[in-house]
Amino acid sequence: MVDLLEHEGKKLFKKYGIPIPSGYLINSTDDLKEINKESIIKAQVPAGHRGLNGGVKKIKNKNEAILVVNRIKKLSFNGFNAKSFLVEEAIKHKKELYLGLTLDRSLKMPVLIVSPYGGVEIEKIPAKNLGKFHLDIFLGMSEHVKRDAFSFVKIDEALRDKFYSILDSLWDIFTGEDAELVEINPLAVTDINLIALDSKITIEDDALFRHPEYKKTNDYLDPIEAEAKSKGISFVRLSGNIGLIANGAGLTLATIDQIKLAGGEAGDFLDLGGTDDPSKVAEAINLVKKSKPKVLFINIFGGVTKADTVAEGIVQAIKSSDMQFKIIVRLKGVNDEKGRKILTDNHIDAFTDISEAIKKAVEASK
């Protein structure tokens, strides 16, 4: 997936008719214009929680802006440093909404999500305050969905047409740009308008052949993901504290679900594929180590992959680097008995049963 930076998303918003604050992009303080009203400086990084981490600041004049930019440049946002900044007018508003259009993979349908409470993480909004409306891919943003969504967010009747227009634009972006997610959080409600204060747009990378303008360099990737990509390893950083290595995308995804059901949170998605090269296994472990998990869970179902050579790679990684976390392994398949013996001889917990292994990993993570 390709996550657009905020200013890139807002450029699309403007193109499709969604109101945004006036502003401009800078790469250094030399690009700053005179500031004579309250404005906002925003770090442009492909990471969330910018506000909580000091990447979004209000300023009143150019001198303040210079100080803020120089301060933000020293910060790290999940491994990224800001190389550009969005300077925007501060919009006075009386309410904030949440609007998001994404794909419900379980139903294989687009879903519109709205809330009368914006400005916070969608995961933290109580379910009763979230309106979810599934859309027929052929009918799109139908009138009854717009009516129901408008009723749910409870804003002034005078803003109905503007609200409908924004929903239509979300659909046009979602379909026209091959997006997987189009999100406005928050959508500011003023007396006379609705204005997108932030943007989050994710483009489906399988559609990039239609959108070469969205192809990103490794500068836009998570540093660990970029390193993994350069080594031909499938790695995606997640938000939990259990590092995960498994062989095969299906097994990896299923393991993430099982960790969640057991009360844990996976901290990464690392697909080892079909390799059982000990050096590759060691390399994968050292990649996960950089994300600083509390525990590393390795789930190997051996077919093409031989369990004993995977075990040798695990031991090799431990001996070559100081591991500050517990490693728990589930081995099943070709040479699994031999592999588990290699692990237990080196004081590593090894299991055959997946449920037992995951339970142990979740306990260790807490």
**Is-catalytic flag, 183?**
yes
Spatial distance between the Cα atoms of 354 and 212, rounded to a whole number of angstroms: 42
Strand partners, 56: 42
Helix (H, G, I), strand (E, B) or coil at 323: coil
Residue 203: which of 221, 226, 185, 177 has the closest Cα?
177
Quote the radius of gyration of the chain (alpha carbons, Å).
24
Asked if residue 46 has a cis previous peptide bond (ω within 30° of 0), the answer is no
Let me know: does 12 contact 214? Beta carbons within 8 Å.
Answer: no
Residue 234: which of 206, 267, 266, 271 has the closest Cα?
271
Candidate list 8, 177, 180, 183, residue with the active-site label: 183
| CB-based contacts of 338, cutoff 8 Å, min separation 6 | 307, 308, 311
Transcribe 157-222 into DSSP letters: GGGHHHHHHHHHHHHHHHHHTTEEEEEEEEEEE-SS-EEE---EEEE-GGGGGG-GGG---GGGS-
Q: How far is CA 293 from the centre of its chain?
A: 17
Candidate list 98, 180, 214, 283, residue with the active-site label: 98
Catalytic residues: 98, 183
